């Protein structure tokens, strides 16, 4: 008997998402012009590392990884 | 289950979509003014668009028993043209007396530029001067976090604004908490690829609770699902959430937010 009903409910969905992610990364790798210096590849690898963390806040952390920084003094440069 | 879609662009949808929404339980919707997929060149183009929002769409919706409300503005993508924006803002008061207008929206930022911020602030002035509610668009993808923070900065620095009459839309995991903590209403858009899935929206409801949160489809001319709110209802049911909680998110919360506008008619019966 499984003890985690959420895992019971989500397992196949998670499995499917991981297979989709693996296949998409294979697709990128197969592309002959694929540049290893493209910063988006680094973002993807960092995001995957974040997903493996277990702090329970993965989605927010991944969103922030893909976000531009916020400068709290933005008004001084933009709204002079 | 009866529901309200608080953000959907029906000028871009077919009459069949109105029928489908009605069959799904949609009793009312609100349609913020937005970008048509191309930049309009004159204030006259906006006047015609506002007539469509205030005269034509309510009639199309009424054929299927759906109440149609709207919000008026020049959107952030066209706000780079500041002179045109000012002409549109000057013209908006002509339409504020129309019976289906809830307020000013969807104003906001797109690429977080100086001109967008300038026009956003002038829309805030317009809303305050005419005692209007405000519906706010936050940017997409990598610009969302920065743009949402900028919007919150501008809102929070304006002591004239009643935070309970402002909804900041298109919130996701990295922006929802800040919007709610600052005292504003928050919207989550159920939109393929670039915004929120129903499952992630339910995750955020489970994490942040049901207060001051609305969900919408933002159905428009791009890839989008006008029936996304029923998809969220299904996901909440699948997880075993009670009907009262679901109804609060999809019906009672938008009713509560919209009821702050004198033009909102809140007279349908509870199921």
Q: What is the mean pLDDT of residues B122-133?
A: 98
- The answer to whether position A75 is within a domain reads no
Q: Are B194 and A63 in contact (CB under 8 A)?
A: no
Can you tell me the ipTM of this complex?
Answer: 0.89
Locate tokens 């428009």: which residue? B220
pLDDT at B270 over 60: no
pLDDT at B41 over 50: yes
How far is the CA of B114 from the CAs of A75, B82, B136, B150, in angstroms?
9, 10, 17, 11
Structure tokens at B7: 């953000």
* A55 Cβ under 8 Å from any chain B Cβ: no
Q: If you average pLDDT over every residue of chain B, what do you get?
A: 96
pLDDT at A80 over 90: no
Main-chain dihedrals φ then ψ at residue B136, nearest 5 degrees: -120, 130
Q: Are A7 and A23 found together in one domain?
A: yes
Q: For chain A, how many structural domains are there in total?
A: 2
Q: Are A3 and A22 found together in one domain?
A: yes
- pTM comes to 0.95
Q: What is the mean pLDDT of residues B57-85?
A: 97
pLDDT in tens, B151-175: 999 999 999 999 999 999 999 999 9
- The answer to whether position A16 is within a domain reads yes
Output the CA torsion B258→B262→B268→B271 (10° steps): 30
Q: Are A16 and A39 found together in one domain?
A: no
How far is the CA of B184 from the CAs of B75, B120, B156, B162, in angstroms?
20, 17, 10, 9
Q: Chain B closest CA to A7's CA: distance in Å?
A: 12
Q: Chain A closest CA to B250's CA: distance in Å?
A: 23
Q: Are A29 and A57 found together in one domain?
A: no
What is the model's pLDDT at position A54? Answer: 76
DSSP state of B213: E
Residues B149, A59: C-beta atoms closer than 8 Å: no
Q: Are A40 and A27 found together in one domain?
A: no
Residues A67, B145: C-beta atoms closer than 8 Å: yes
pLDDT in tens, B216-248: 999 999 999 999 999 999 999 999 999 999 999
Task: Identify the CATH assignment for B3-258 out of 3.40.50.970, 3.20.20.140, 3.30.460.20, 3.20.20.370.
Answer: 3.20.20.140
What is the model's pLDDT at position A3? Answer: 87
Element (H, E) at B168: strand B166-168
**Range of weakest confidence among A44-58, B38-52, B119-133:** A44-58
Domain ranges, ordered by start, for chain B: 3-258
- The answer to whether position A20 is within a domain reads yes
- The answer to whether position A41 is within a domain reads yes
Output the CA torsion B149→B154→B157→B162 (10° steps): -100
**How many other C-beta atoms are found inside a 10 Å radius of the C-beta of residue B238?**
12
- The answer to whether position A27 is within a domain reads yes
- The answer to whether position A72 is within a domain reads no
**CB nearest B174 (choices: A9, A67, A71):** A67
Q: Are A46 and A61 found together in one domain?
A: yes
- The answer to whether position A60 is within a domain reads yes
pLDDT in tens, B185-196: 999 999 878 889
B202: exposed, middle or buried (C-beta count within 10 Å: 0-12, 13-18, 19+)? buried
Q: What is the mean pLDDT of residues A3-30?
A: 94
**CB nearest B146 (choices: A9, A63, A69):** A69
Using only C-alpha atoms, what is the Rg of chain A? Answer: 18
Domain ranges, residue A60: 35-66
**CB nearest A59 (choices: B114, B145, B200):** B200
Q: How confident is the model at residue A1 (pLDDT cuts 50, 70, 90)?
A: low
Q: What is the mean pLDDT of residues B37-54?
A: 97
Main-chain dihedrals φ then ψ at residue A39, nearest 5 degrees: -65, -20
Structure tokens at B54: 């205030």
**How many other C-beta atoms are found inside a 10 Å radius of the C-beta of residue B239?**
15
**How many other C-beta atoms are found inside a 10 Å radius of the C-beta of residue A30?**
8
Structure tokens at B42: 């004159």
pLDDT in tens, A28-75: 999 887 667 889 999 999 999 999 987 889 999 999 999 999 999 999
pLDDT at B269 over 70: no
* Percentage above 70 pLDDT, chain B: 99
* B206 Cβ under 8 Å from any chain A Cβ: no
């Amino acid at each position: 008997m499984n003890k985690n009903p959420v895992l019971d409910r989500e397992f196949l969905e998670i499995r499917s998402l991981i297979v989709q992610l693996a296949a998409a990364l294979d697709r990128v790798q197969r592309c002959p012009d694929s540049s290893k210096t493209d910063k988006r590849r680094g973002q993807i690898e960092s995001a995957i590392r974040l997903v493996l963390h277990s702090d329970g806040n993965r989605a927010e952390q991944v969103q922030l990884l893909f976000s531009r920084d916020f400068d709290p003094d933005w008004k001084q440069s933009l709204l002079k | 289950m009866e529901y309200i879609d608080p953000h959907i662009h029906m000028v871009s949808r077919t009459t069949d979509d109105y029928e489908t929404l009605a069959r799904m339980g949609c009793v009312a919707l609100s349609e913020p003014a937005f970008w048509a997929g191309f930049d309009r060149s004159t204030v006259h183009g906006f006047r015609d668009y506002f007539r469509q929002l205030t005269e034509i769409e309510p009639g199309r919706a009424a054929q299927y028993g759906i109440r149609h409300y709207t919000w008026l503005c020049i959107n952030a993508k066209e706000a780079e043209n500041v002179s045109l924006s000012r002409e549109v803002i000057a013209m908006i008061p002509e339409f504020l007396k129309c019976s289906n207008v809830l307020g000013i929206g969807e104003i906001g930022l797109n690429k977080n530029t100086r001109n967008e911020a300038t026009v956003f602030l002038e829309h805030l002035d317009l809303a305050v001067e005419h005692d209007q509610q405000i519906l706010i668009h936050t940017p997409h993808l990598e610009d969302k976090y920065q743009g949402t923070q900028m919007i919150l900065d501008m809102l929070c620095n304006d002591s004239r604004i009643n935070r309970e009459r402002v909804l900041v839309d298109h919130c996701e995991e990295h922006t929802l908490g800040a919007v709610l903590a600052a005292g504003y209403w928050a919207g989550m858009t159920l939109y393929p690829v670039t915004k929120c899935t129903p499952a992630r929206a339910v995750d955020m409801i489970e994490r942040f609770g049901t207060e001051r949160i609305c969900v919408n489809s933002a159905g428009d001319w791009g890839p989008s699902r006008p029936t996304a709110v029923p998809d969220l209802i299904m996901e909440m049911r699948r997880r075993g959430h009670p009907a009262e909680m679901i109804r609060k998110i999809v019906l009672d919360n938008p009713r509560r937010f919209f009821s702050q506008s004198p033009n909102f008619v809140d007279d349908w019966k509870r199921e």
